[in-house]
Structure formats: C-alpha cells, structure tokens
A and B are shown apart, each in its own frame.
Chain A
Amino acid sequence: MSIIFIAVNLAFALIISPLIDGFERKIRARLQNRQGPSILQTWWDLIKLFKRPTIEPQDSVKPLYKLAPYITFTSILTAYLIIPTLLPASTNFIGDLIVVVYLLGLATLCFVIGAFSSGNAYAQIGSNRDVSLFMSEELLLAFIVGTIAVIGKSLSLDRLFPLPFRISSVLALLLLFLVIYVASTRLPFDIAEAEPEIIEGPLIEYSGKHLGLLKYSIFLKRLLLYSLLLDFIIPIQNPIRLICYLIGTIILSVIYSTFEAYYGRFRIDQAIEILKRASIVALIVWMIAIVGW
C-alpha cells in the first residue's frame, strides 16, 4: 500500500513541479503588467532542453561534470520517498527530518562539485557563493530543526506532522518559511546564479539535457520544500487533507512569486548577514520552545 502511495507521490511531483513554476511565471508576469506565457511553458522548455544535445567543455573533469546533474536530480527525488506530498504515505522507516535535510545537502554538494568541475571561472565564483549561502542557511535551518525537535520531542516525521499549536511552533514555521525562500534560489536570493554579473554562475557551461535536469531539480526542490512546510501545518489524518494540500501549495507559490516579483537581488554579504540575524531570532525561538510555550 505505502509503496503505491510513494509511487503516486513521485509521479505527482515529477509532473506537477514544472507546472507550479509555470504558474509562478504567470503570476509574476501579471504583477509586472505583462501577459506572460502559458502555464505549460516550463514543461515545453524542459522538453526542448531534453531534446537538445549536450556539450562538454574542454577544461572540465568529464566524469564528475557529466554525472553531477543526474545525482543532484535523484537525491532530491530520494527525499520525496520520505516527505508525504499528495498522499499521506507512512514512510517512517526510510528516514526522518535529519535525513531529508542531509539529502538536500547532498543535492547542493553534487550541484557545486559539478559546477567546479566545469573548469569555468564564473562557475567557480557562482558555486563558491552557493556554498557560502548554504552554510549560513544551514545555521538558521539547524536552529529550526532543533526547535521542532524540542517541540515534538522527536525527529520522526509521523510524530512531527502536524506540529502542536504553540507560540514557538508558529514562529519556527515562519522562520522555515524564510529558509525555504532562500533555499529555493529565487530573487533576491539567487545570488549564486546571478545572470547580470556572473552569467548563471554554476549553470554557465551546462547545456541541453544537463541543464534541463538541473532546472528540473530546482523545481522539484521547491515543491518538496512547500510540501514540508504544509505537512507541518495540515493534520495528516484529515479527510480533506488533499484539498488543503493543493490549496496550500497554490497559496505558497502566490506568496513566494509575489515577493520574487518585487525584489531586486541582494549582494552575497547582505544575504548572509540577513541569515545570520534570522539565526539570532531563531535562537530566541528555540529558547521559547525550551520554556514550553
């Protein structure tokens, strides 16, 4: 039973995540007084990329450069085994919150190693920024994970979904909302891929199928993080969970894309500074959780 549920969840994620990006593009376009492409446009882009041939730069370390996009993609897919999306699969035996955090870390690691192996200087600058951002983002995330563990007295996901309603849990989820925004590489936090200055950074040499896979994994990662946040809120046994989940996803993508449409890009040090300040807030939230509020 649960294996079928996992399969359904995986299929859902693979099909829907590009559509969500299409939807967000539409919203951004409307907010900026543009017509915008159709919702399916992201899917057409991906299909086009998958049909294109790939190239390999001369200076690259070929095995690493070629394999990295695949493992980035599949490590995010692996996280979908653990986090329930469309259907509430009981997948407790595969992993817990820590495993999810580290699988996302594995994806980041493969992504930057691939970029570093391309031999392009811009890719190095970009992935260097990516790792800097990842480290400071992880400080905030560590506090959130700690707070959630203290609130739920567990790290196992079926005990944490949903979190009990307390001041600390609301604050922790607000901070999680911020981390998700940073982790999903959007304006103003897409510093690693900044197009105007370092020409897409880590993605600079990637083309065709590789580029498609990397883009696809970013979409998958966004939907995964949405689901994580929603699972903390929506009761898992609720009969109308499915509807709540779908509505929640739409609401989140509207909010996130609105932010994205209105902001310019941060400098890398500004972004790290913001994350550091947020971590101090998270320390206070952790203390509130320890007190038991």
Chain B
Amino acid sequence: MEAQMLLIPIGVLIIAALVGLSKAKVALKIVSILSAVASAVIIYNGVLGLKTTIELKYNLFNSPSFFASLNYLVFRVDALSAFFLLILGILSLCTSVYGIEYMERYFEREDMRVYTFNYPLFILTMYLVVICWNLLWFIIFWELMTLFSQFLVAFEQRKEKAVRAAFKYFCMTKAGAEFIVLALILIILKATNFNANYSEIANVLPAYLSVHSTILYTLTFSLLVGLGVKASMVPLHSWLPDAHPEAPSNVSALLSGIMIKLPIYMMFRFFLSFFPLKPEIGIIIAIFGVLTLFFSMMYALLQEDSKRLLAFSSIDNIGYILLPMGAGIYFLASGNQLFGGIALAAALFHTMSHAFFKGLLFLTAGSVMYETGTRDLNYLGSLAKKMPLTASTALIGSLAIAGVPPLNGFVSKWMIYISTLSSPATSLFGIIAIFISAVTLGTFVKYFTAIFTKPPVKEIDAKEVPLLMSAPQLLLALLCIAFGIYPFIPLKMISQALGSIGIPLASLVVYPSLVVPRTGSYSPIIIFAFLLVSTLIVLLLIPSRGEVVPTWKTGRSEDLNISMPADAYYRDFREVFREVYTLGDASKRFVQKVAEIGRILGTKFEVFSYDLDSMLSIAMVLIVILVAVLGGVGL
C-alpha cells in the first residue's frame, strides 16, 4: 500500500496537465490546486521514504530483448531521494499556491496553456528523476525535464529575449545530456552487462572502475560536463543568467531552487555510491566549486536586474554545494571520515537551505514585479512602506543567503569552513568561500535596499500582494528561521540520507550545540536566545519613542539632488578588483571566438555537404572515431 503512494503524484500531475490543455480561465486554478495537492503527496512520500525504503517494480515488455535494461521500470525511494523529494515537495507546494494569483497577470498577454500544460509536467519529470532507480529511464526523464522546463522559460513568447534564452538553455543542456548518455552507455556496455539498475551498478561498478582507471576518468569527465551544464557550474553556466530571469517568477523559484539541485543529487549517486572514492576527483570537483562561487558572485555584484542578480547568486550557491561535496570526497578517500561526513552533510544542508531562501527571494522578486511590473533595480525603491510583508520576508531571505547567524544559511557555511579550513589541501577553498560570503552580504544588501528602502526615481504605485502570494513567502521565511535556530531536524534527515549511500556521519550533534570534536562548535539556540533576550532587555531599558521630523537636507529647503542608483553601488570596490572582471570578460571573448570559429566551420561544412561522397566518408570517419573512443578506452 505504501509503495502505491508513489503513483498518486504521477496520476494527479498527469490529470493536471490534461486539464491544462483547456483554454478556460478556471484551468489555471485547477492546475495550480492539483499541483499543490501532488506536492503535498510528494512531501508525504519524502517523509515515508526517510522511515523505510519504498520500492515499486514494473516489468514492461515481458520479453528478453535488446532493451533488457528498459524492461524494468523501477521506482525506489531511499533516504537520499527522500531528502530531495522533501525539498521538491515543499518548494513546489509554495510555487503552485503562489502561481494561482501571480499567473493571472499574464492572462491578457500570453497563451496560458503553455504554462498550465507544462508546469505540472515539469514537476512530474523532476519527481520521476528523483524516484527512478534505473539509469536508462533516468536519462529519459532527465531529457523530458529539460524539454518541459524549456517551454516554461519561453513562456512569454512575444519577447524575443525569452525565446532566445530558452533556445540557449535547451542547446546547452542538450549538449550536456549527450555527455551523460555517453557515460551511461559506457557504464552499461562495459561494466554492468546491460544492467541499469542502481543497486546492481552500485554493486559492480566500484570494483570494476578501481581496476580500469582510464574509464573512471573518462566517466568522471563526461559526467562533470554533463551534470555540470545542468547545475550551471562555471565555466558551463552561461545559460542560467539568461534563462532563469525570463521564466515566470514561481517557475524561476523551481528552476533555481530544485531543478539545478537534481544534478547534485545525481552527482551524489555517481561519485559517492557508483564510483570508487579518489582524492583527485574530489579536489577537481572542489576546484570547480570554488571557481563557480567566486566568479558568479563577483558578477552578481554588478547586476541591475533583480532576477538576474538572483540567478547569478544561484550559480554561486551551486559553488557552495560543489565545494564541500568535492572536499568531502577528498576527505573520505584520504581516510578522514569525520571531516568527510561533515563536508558532505554541509553540501546537502546547503542544498536544502538554498532551495528555501532562493525560492523565497524569487517569490519576493515576483511579488515586486506583480505590483510594479519591473525588475529594474535602478528604477525601484522605497517599497518597504507599501509592501511590508514582502519586505520583511525578503529581508529574512537576504539575511539567510548572506549567511548571518542564527539563520539557516550560516549552518551550512559553518560546516563548510569547519571541514575545509584547517586541512592544508582544502584551506584555500575555505578562505575564498569566506570572502565570497562577505561579497554575498554586499550583493544582498544591494538587492534589499535597492528595492525596498532607497528613495525611488519617481513615486511608485504599489500595495501589498494578496494572501495567496504572501503565504508561500511566509512559509519559506519561517522555514529559513526554524532550520537556522533548530538545525537538528534537517541534520537528522541528512545523516539518514548519507547513511543510505554508506557514509557514516559522525556524531555532530551535542544538544544544544553543533560540536565537531577538537575543531569547532556553534550553538544556534544559545546565540538566538541571547540575541532575543538581550535585545528585549535593551529595548526595555532604553525605549525609543520619537517624533517624526522631515529628513535632514543639510539645511536646504528643496530636495538634495543626490541619489544612489543600483549601478552606483560598490563602485570603488569593483574598480579595485577590476582584474576579476578583466579575466571574466577575456574568457567571454574567448568563448565567443570559439563559437565564431564553430559557425564558420559549420558554414563551410554546409557547402561541403552537397557532395554526398565526402559527406559519407566524413560520417564514416566520425563513426570510427566514436567506436574507437567507446571501445578503446579500456585498453
């Protein structure tokens, strides 16, 4: 019976997609409500999966055929997938509820069926990617996920920018998926004898790969590229800052909050349970993590578009997940169980925290767009008085993402520093992460103050958003606070999740503190309680009741003619650290040059292709090379 629960979200979401094909206005409400119901069931499945492993098996073809590995469709939820299911469920519940009111603004302008049909299918494919237990089915669901999310990015079809962004997104992730396919074929052909079941692979593959190290590195490379594109790891990130801002805000929240975490989920599967642990693989992942967080945050500091700023910061947070994951693999491979467990727990904790605060921030950006119709930070301003609820949730989100104690962003950052800083091999990674954390703080001071407190260019007409939009924001903000003050619940789930792929998380929790023996400690409860109590005492002792007076204008009667638009923030800092941007721009020009060369070659090739014989011979040469690559790597 419990296993059948896995099917309920699938059924509900398919019904929702079918309803979404109708043009009626009420379809949006029905689709959103059905998606919300499905999300609630997904949460339930996640909770169930943490208790016991749920498994559901279907024999589809009933005949031994070439597609032997496709024969069995296996759904299985272990603690690791359950953890991701929980994140997916909570986030999609919030975005579905939010969408009911938010999407109404688009009714006059766009064909709503693009949204109502693709949105439930997008959630469905993400759900299937997490619960499926077969590599071949995984890649099918994975490609479908890319497809449906691409339509959602291109939702506003009349905007050329959106369509181009969706096209870029599709091309890049499709090219990345080819690398995954290559890796899967290699695994299935070479190692596991046509068996694509996860449990089977986890049994066979580590032993095989520790002998055949060439294949291990080929697989690592292609998986890093393939999953890295989807996770938007620098230097494969360039689709994300274009695609995420163009989607409707609740879809952006899903894209940033959970979709780019699914590659992380697969990395956990591949690098930790399918592959033998090698220190150099860990270090490579960590280096990519550091590059990702460094460059994306330095560029986030420049942005003047609220959602583009958030998109860059999503890439940054992928860096904050890859860094501890790589460090964790390194530590486990070199025999340091304690730090390895903590680093991996930090990666999972940050996955969860980021889903909550980034989801929240995208929803607040959406609420601001809903009221004002713009994402331009230079134009916006002074909305805190008009939208107090949105402002306070945005403030909580900004504080959490900047990683200030006692919110949830700090817990994962603390675990990253504790595990990395004191070991010589990873110390520099931790140092850069601390610096970037300060830049994050600067970026989100900019985000918050530019929208909510700075005087606007001209008076903006806005009011608080309706309850159905503010309630999801409040829920996410509450989770940010609760998991920050009381991180023991997520940590318990994380230790189960890590346990399911065979990594013991050493006793980190010593109530009421998080204690890493001989290395560090942090007690969110005591710090929060002291902050709260002492602030209340000071408020009682020194109460301030003041009269309202005009803002001081250096004694002049007219307005001071100075203002700080968003592009003026931190100009001096950017000037001094211009080398970073010079480097970034140079690499951008390099990539553009490569693309240009590719285009020229493509044109040449097209001319060439009228000649059938040479076409065929080139194709044959390419096939020979491919066969050589596939067959020869074992030599």
User: Which residues in A have some Cβ–Cβ distance to B below 8 Å?
Assistant: 50, 53-61, 63-64, 66, 70-71, 73-75, 77-78, 81, 92-99, 101-103, 105-106, 109, 112-113, 116-122, 124-125, 127-129, 131-132, 134-136, 138-139, 141-143, 145-146, 149-150, 152-156, 159, 199, 204-205, 208-210, 212-213, 268-269, 272-273, 276, 286, 290
CB–CB A58/B548 < 8 A: yes
- The stretch among B167-175, B239-247, B403-411, B607-615 that forms the contact with chain A is B403-411
Of B384, B427, B522, which contacts A96 at CB under 8 A?
A: B522
- Residues of chain A with a CB closer than 8 A to B513's CB: 93-94
> What sequence of 0s and 1s flags, for each residue 411-434 of chain B, a beta carbon within 8 Å of any chain A beta carbon?
000100110011010011011101
Shortest C-beta distance, B617 to chain A (Å), equals 55
B632 at the interface (CB under 8 A from A): no
Of B395, B551, B568, which contacts A59 at CB under 8 A?
A: B551
CB–CB B404/A109 < 8 A: yes
CB–CB B428/A154 < 8 A: no
For the complex with contacts A64-B395, A71-B535, 10 further pairs of A-B residues with Cβ separation under 8 Å are A57-B548, A57-B550, A58-B549, A70-B538, A96-B521, A105-B441, A106-B405, A134-B438, A142-B435, A153-B422
Of A73, A124, A286, which contacts B538 at CB under 8 A?
A: A73
Of A70, A101, A152, A286, which contacts B427 at CB under 8 A?
A: A286
Contact status of A78 and B572, CB under 8 A, knowing A135-B439, A138-B435: no
- Residues of chain B with a CB closer than 8 A to A103's CB: 405, 527
CB–CB A155/B547 < 8 A: no
- Residues of chain A with a CB closer than 8 A to B410's CB: 102
> B535-575: which have CB < 8 Å to A?
535, 538-539, 542-552, 554, 560, 562-564, 568-570, 572-573, 575
CB–CB B431/A146 < 8 A: yes
CB–CB B522/A95 < 8 A: yes
CB–CB B520/A98 < 8 A: yes
Of A81, A95, A120, A142, which contacts B551 at CB under 8 A?
A: A120
Shortest C-beta distance, B569 to chain A (Å), equals 6
Shortest C-beta distance, A194 to chain B (Å), equals 13
B399 at the interface (CB under 8 A from A): yes
CB–CB A99/B538 < 8 A: no
A57 to B382, CA, bound (A): 14
B58 at the interface (CB under 8 A from A): no
A154 to B421, CA, bound (A): 8
A131 to B441, CA, bound (A): 9
Contact status of A93 and B427, CB under 8 A, knowing A124-B564, A129-B572, A132-B570: no
> B570-585: which have CB < 8 Å to A?
570, 572-573, 575-577
CB–CB B547/A55 < 8 A: yes
A57 to B552, CA, bound (A): 8
User: Which residues in B have some Cβ–Cβ distance to A below 8 Å?
Assistant: 382, 384-385, 388, 391, 395, 399, 402-405, 410, 414, 417-418, 421-422, 424, 427-428, 430-432, 434-435, 437-439, 441-442, 445, 448-449, 452-455, 510, 513, 515, 518-523, 526-527, 530-531, 534-535, 538-539, 542-552, 554, 560, 562-564, 568-570, 572-573, 575-577
CB–CB B520/A94 < 8 A: no
Shortest C-beta distance, B105 to chain A (Å), equals 26
A285 to B440, CA, bound (A): 26
- Residues of chain B with a CB closer than 8 A to A152's CB: 422
CB–CB A119/B442 < 8 A: no
CB–CB B521/A132 < 8 A: no
CB–CB B526/A94 < 8 A: yes
CB–CB B430/A94 < 8 A: no
A128 to B571, CA, bound (A): 9
A134 to B404, CA, bound (A): 14
A93 to B520, CA, bound (A): 9
Q: Which of B384, B427, B432, B548 has the most CB of A within 10 A?
A: B427
CB–CB A95/B452 < 8 A: no
CB–CB A155/B438 < 8 A: no
Of B438, B544, B552, which contacts A205 at CB under 8 A?
A: B552
Of A53, A113, A205, which contacts B445 at CB under 8 A?
A: A113
A80 to B410, CA, bound (A): 19
Give the 8 A-B CB pairs with smallest separation, nearest first. A138-B438, A142-B434, A54-B546, A146-B431, A149-B421, A132-B573, A57-B551, A96-B520
CB–CB B544/A64 < 8 A: no
- Residues of chain B with a CB closer than 8 A to A204's CB: 552
- Residues of chain B with a CB closer than 8 A to A102's CB: 403-405, 410, 414
A77 to B435, CA, bound (A): 24
A59 to B414, CA, bound (A): 37
- Residues of chain A with a CB closer than 8 A to B435's CB: 135, 138-139, 142
A278 to B628, CA, bound (A): 53
CB–CB B515/A55 < 8 A: no
A77 to B535, CA, bound (A): 10
CB–CB A75/B531 < 8 A: yes
- Residues of chain A with a CB closer than 8 A to B405's CB: 99, 102-103, 106
Of B431, B520, B575, which contacts A269 at CB under 8 A?
A: B575
- Residues of chain B with a CB closer than 8 A to A125's CB: 562, 564
- Residues of chain B with a CB closer than 8 A to A212's CB: 542
Give 6 A-B contacts (CB < 8 Å), ordered by A residue.
Answer: A94-B527, A98-B417, A101-B434, A102-B405, A113-B445, A149-B421
Find the A residue at minimum CB distance from B414.
Answer: A98
CB–CB B547/A53 < 8 A: yes
CB–CB B542/A276 < 8 A: no
Contact status of A156 and B547, CB under 8 A, knowing A121-B563, A142-B432, A272-B572: no
CB–CB A135/B573 < 8 A: yes
Shortest C-beta distance, A123 to chain B (Å), equals 9
Shortest C-beta distance, B486 to chain A (Å), equals 16
Of B434, B546, B577, which contacts A145 at CB under 8 A?
A: B434
A57 to B560, CA, bound (A): 15
Shortest C-beta distance, A157 to chain B (Å), equals 9
CB–CB B544/A113 < 8 A: no
Find the A residue at minimum CB distance from B407.
Answer: A106
- Residues of chain B with a CB closer than 8 A to A149's CB: 421-422, 427, 430
A17 to B404, CA, bound (A): 25
A92 to B391, CA, bound (A): 36
A132 to B570, CA, bound (A): 6
- Residues of chain B with a CB closer than 8 A to A138's CB: 434-435, 437-438
Q: Which of A71, A99, A141 has the most CB of B within 10 A?
A: A99
Of A73, A99, A141, which contacts B414 at CB under 8 A?
A: A99
A212 to B575, CA, bound (A): 35
A132 to B542, CA, bound (A): 31
Contact status of A121 and B560, CB under 8 A, knowing A61-B453, A103-B405: yes
Contact status of A208 and B546, CB under 8 A, knowing A74-B535, A75-B531, A102-B410: yes
Shortest C-beta distance, A50 to chain B (Å), equals 6
CB–CB A139/B542 < 8 A: no
- Residues of chain B with a CB closer than 8 A to A159's CB: 518
CB–CB B572/A117 < 8 A: no
Of A64, A134, A150, A155, which contacts B424 at CB under 8 A?
A: A150
CB–CB A66/B544 < 8 A: yes
CB–CB B535/A156 < 8 A: no
Find the A residue at minimum CB distance from B546.
Answer: A54
CB–CB B544/A209 < 8 A: yes
Find the B residue at minimum CB distance from A79.
Answer: B527
